[in-house]
Structure 1
């Protein structure tokens, strides 16, 4: 308790706040209804903490090849550069996806009059799969496509069915559900579009090979 105050208690009781010296609040939190706890350092500990934080700032500035006074500006510049780079990568990814899609059309198989494609795409993100799926639906009304990608230990799956394929009995939600089971996952969706995930990339090839039979059973 400091003086006559009943709100402030730092554990070590003082009869005069001047004895605490410099004080720097480092945190506050709620500990009970209507009660908050303030954490702070005092005296020489304040100077030590400031020196440690200055050292961190100097290290960060050195890593970014600038000085501490320009650190905020440099960080903002880095963030803007990263955003611009990500946009370029997205555009490149879209171009690569378009090139891969042309190849897909050349390897489709006929299942009761419907073109069926099931493949794994290297270095593809779920966003790229969706972009390719939308393009396939718009260009190939009589196609069923199951696209997949592996990111780390996770499998991403997408199934799209063109309007004509849906009329003949194809259903993306039902197809993707069966495919996902094989790779230890689940999912579903609409007749024309469905997504799923899996936890067993080692089974992906087996799952893709099963697509023709899964589609055949629906028609």
Structure 2
């Protein structure tokens, strides 16, 4: 069309950013060369002698339309500009696979390139304004923000570890003895699945005679973890079987090894009921 192009070609791998840039430069060089576009009709034999390129699979009659722009000579029935410069410029906006061994380049031309550039500049200006900088310094500002976020996340992880350690002390104090095994089941506030695993590993290493079911709610999802110390496993505790029963109550499922298992659920409203069931589940297992 007058403002965009699709070009399919045979190739068995995605073009790299460098290759796309080279293609774009080659096309724009041809546009800026300002070559006249010459259209002629002639016999197919004359066209072949002239060096016109025919597309594989196309059917041509005895009389064909030959289009020449600079060094390019093709058989084509489409309409064309009378000079390549009138295309203005070209900007590639996409490259993807459309079939086995066939790739497609999509691009905009002429005023559509200016609109694309203006739209992208507007996005850059908005992003720069949000980060309180100017577009020329946006990349450096983003890198700084990413580094600041990484540092902040590390601080949060350390704080989370400290909070987890404090919560573990509380857990040990409220555990219930069932047939010689300490059992605890609780919900942790603002805890991620990773934090649950970290706490579970600490519990196993410090309390080999404990069964612990830890849970957290994030949005409408329930995360569950069960760990059983080595001595608790010897007495019959099995984390995978425990977590499976608990998860059923909160509308989920899961499982795992005798010493560690995870599960998820979709009904946070049933979490308290699920945690209260842990003692009976463990009691029936030992």
**TM-score w.r.t. structure 1 length?**
0.92
Describe the SS at the equivalent of 1:13.
Answer: coil
Partners of 1:103 and 1:10 in 2: how far apart? 81
Describe the SS at the equivalent of 1:178.
Answer: helix
Does residue 164 of structure 2 align to residue 100 of structure 1?
A: no
Does residue 92 of structure 2 align to residue 25 of structure 1?
A: yes
- Over residues 48-86 of structure 1, what are the superposed CA-to-partner deviations in whole Å (9 max), with x where a residue is unaligned? 221221121111111111111111010011011111111
**Distance 1:137-1:39 versus aligned 2 partners, 3 A rule:** same
Contact 1:150 1:156 in 2 (8 A): yes
Describe the SS at the equivalent of 2:74.
Answer: coil
Q: Which moved more, 1:25-34 or 1:9-18?
A: 9-18
- Over residues 78-110 of structure 1, what are the superposed CA-to-partner deviations in whole Å (9 max), with x where a residue is unaligned? 011111111111110110011011001111111
Which residue of structure 2 aligns with residue 69 of structure 1?
A: 136
Partner residue of 1:84 out of 121, 127, 151: 151
Describe the SS at the equivalent of 2:69.
Answer: coil
**TM-score w.r.t. structure 2 length?**
0.71
Contact 1:183 1:201 in 2 (8 A): yes
Describe the SS at the equivalent of 1:196.
Answer: strand
Contact 1:2 1:15 in 2 (8 A): no
Deviation at 1:3, TM superposition (A): 7.0
Describe the SS at the equivalent of 1:15.
Answer: coil
Q: Which runs of 5+ in 2 are unaligned?
A: 1-67
Deviation at 1:19, TM superposition (A): 2.3
Contact 1:3 1:14 in 2 (8 A): no
**Distance 1:11-1:137 versus aligned 2 partners, 3 A rule:** farther
Deviation at 1:11, TM superposition (A): 7.4
Structure showing greater radius of gyration is 2
Describe the SS at the equivalent of 2:166.
Answer: helix
- Over residues 153-174 of structure 1, what are the superposed CA-to-partner deviations in whole Å (9 max), with x where a residue is unaligned? 1111111111111111111111
Aligned residues: 219
